[in-house]
């Protein structure tokens, strides 16, 4: 390797270790402040993980980049407000930061990390990402908000989730609500999974006598649904 690139690689490990250490401190604070956390705190954690992910890809650290991607996705959902900062989310983020730090340390030493150390958590992160702040927290049950609308975002699931994870997240979005809004923003292709999600949500709400609506869909998504004979989803 070119000496300058080798130096950049060394720098990546040092810089990321520091960034993740700072992120760990911020996450400890976040676990105390929960929803009162300053947005810039979440931004700073996001940037640390984002940097780890980018460098991971550049230096061929596939597992690290993959896990960081999943961790970053949940942070992105927290950052844009689609996932609330509950106790369980805070704990999960702290756990993810620890795992990413371990992946980084092992990669620096050229050691592999057993997938069992991170794959289970990665699955939980994915489910948490596609569940929404409208989902009741398991440890903080509260009154059903009025109006009781569940929100489900289609975009993240098309790349990241398995059918089982999508079903879980979708059902979580529907707990205690009588109308569901599925956001199709930025979706430029429709997979079988995406169609199943839309149909499941629509039928479930029909069964409940509730309302289904598709929000912010792209022209490509709408054209695809019409072509598949599901124009009623578009018209809702």
Partner 1 sequence: MPNDNKPRVLIVDDMQAMRAMAKSLATSLGAEVIGEAENGQVGLELFLSEKPDLVLLDIEMPVKDGISTLKAILAEDSSANVVMLTSVDNMAVVEDCIFSGARDYIRKDVVPDVMKVRLQKELDKLT
Minimum distance, C-beta of residue 140 to partner 1, in the bound complex (Å)? 29
| Per CB under 8 A, 43 contacts partner 1 | yes
In the complex with partner 1, the residue whose CB is nearer, 53 or 180, is 53
| Per CB under 8 A, 4 contacts partner 1 | yes
Partners of residue 214 on adjacent β-strands: 182
By CB under 8 A, the residues from 68 to 87 that bind partner 1 are 69, 72-73, 76
| Per CB under 8 A, 101 contacts partner 1 | no
Contact, 70 vs 125, CB < 8 A? yes
Minimum distance, C-beta of residue 183 to partner 1, in the bound complex (Å)? 13
Judged by CB under 8 A, the number of residues near partner 1 is 33
In the complex with partner 1, the residue whose CB is nearer, 44 or 234, is 44
By CB under 8 A, the residues from 155 to 214 that bind partner 1 are 159, 185-186
| Per CB under 8 A, 105 contacts partner 1 | no
| Per CB under 8 A, 11 contacts partner 1 | yes
Q: What is the DSSP letter of 145?
A: P
Contact, 217 vs 181, CB < 8 A? no
Residue 98's CB: how many other CB atoms inside 10 A? Answer: 14
Q: Which stretch binds partner 1 (CB under 8 A): 42-50, 135-143, 164-172, 192-200?
A: 42-50
| Per CB under 8 A, 15 contacts partner 1 | yes
Burial of 161 (C-beta count, 10 Å sphere; 0-12/13-18/19+): buried
Instruction: Label the pairing between strands 149-153 and 179-183.
Output: parallel
Three-state SS for 95-139 is: HHHHHHHHHHHHHHCCCCCCHHHCHHHHHHHHHHHHCCCCCCCCC
In the complex with partner 1, the residue whose CB is nearer, 56 or 194, is 56
CA 155 – CA 146 distance, rounded (Å): 26
Nearest in space to 49 (alpha carbons), one of 86, 9, 101, 95: 101
Residue 110's CB: how many other CB atoms inside 10 A? Answer: 6
Q: Which stretch binds partner 1 (CB under 8 A): 11-19, 95-103, 192-200, 221-229?
A: 11-19
Determine which residue in the list 17, 24, 41, 57 makes contact with partner 1, applying CB under 8 A. 57
Query: Which positions lie near partner 1, rule CB under 8 A?
Result: 2, 4-5, 7-9, 11-12, 14-16, 43-44, 46-47, 50-51, 53-60, 65, 69, 72-73, 76, 159, 185-186
């Amino acid at each position: 390797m070119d000496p300058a690139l080798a130096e950049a690689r060394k720098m990546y490990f040092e810089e990321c270790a520091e960034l993740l250490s700072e992120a760990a401190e911020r996450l400890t604070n976040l676990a105390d402040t929960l929803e009162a956390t300053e947005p810039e705190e979440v931004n700073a954690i996001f940037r640390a993980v984002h940097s780890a992910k980018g460098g991971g890809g550049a230096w061929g650290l596939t597992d690290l980049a993959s896990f960081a991607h999943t961790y970053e996705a949940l942070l992105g959902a927290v950052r844009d407000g689609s996932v609330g900062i509950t106790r369980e989310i805070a704990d999960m983020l702290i756990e993810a930061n620890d795992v990413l730090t371990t992946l980084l340390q092992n990669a620096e030493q050229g050691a592999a990390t057993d997938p069992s150390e991170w794959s289970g958590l990665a699955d939980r992160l994915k489910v948490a990402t596609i569940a929404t702040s409208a989902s009741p927290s398991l440890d903080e049950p509260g009154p059903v908000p009025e109006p009781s609308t569940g929100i489900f975002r289609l975009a993240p699931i098309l790349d990241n989730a398995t059918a089982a994870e999508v079903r879980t997240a979708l059902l979580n979005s529907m707990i205690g609500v009588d109308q569901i809004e599925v956001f199709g923003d930025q979706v430029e292709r429709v997979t079988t999974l995406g169609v199943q999600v839309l149909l499941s949500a629509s039928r479930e709400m029909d069964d409940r006598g509730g309302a289904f609506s598709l929000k912010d869909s792209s022209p490509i998504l709408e054209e695809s649904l019409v072509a598949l004979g599901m124009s009623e989803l578009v018209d809702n």
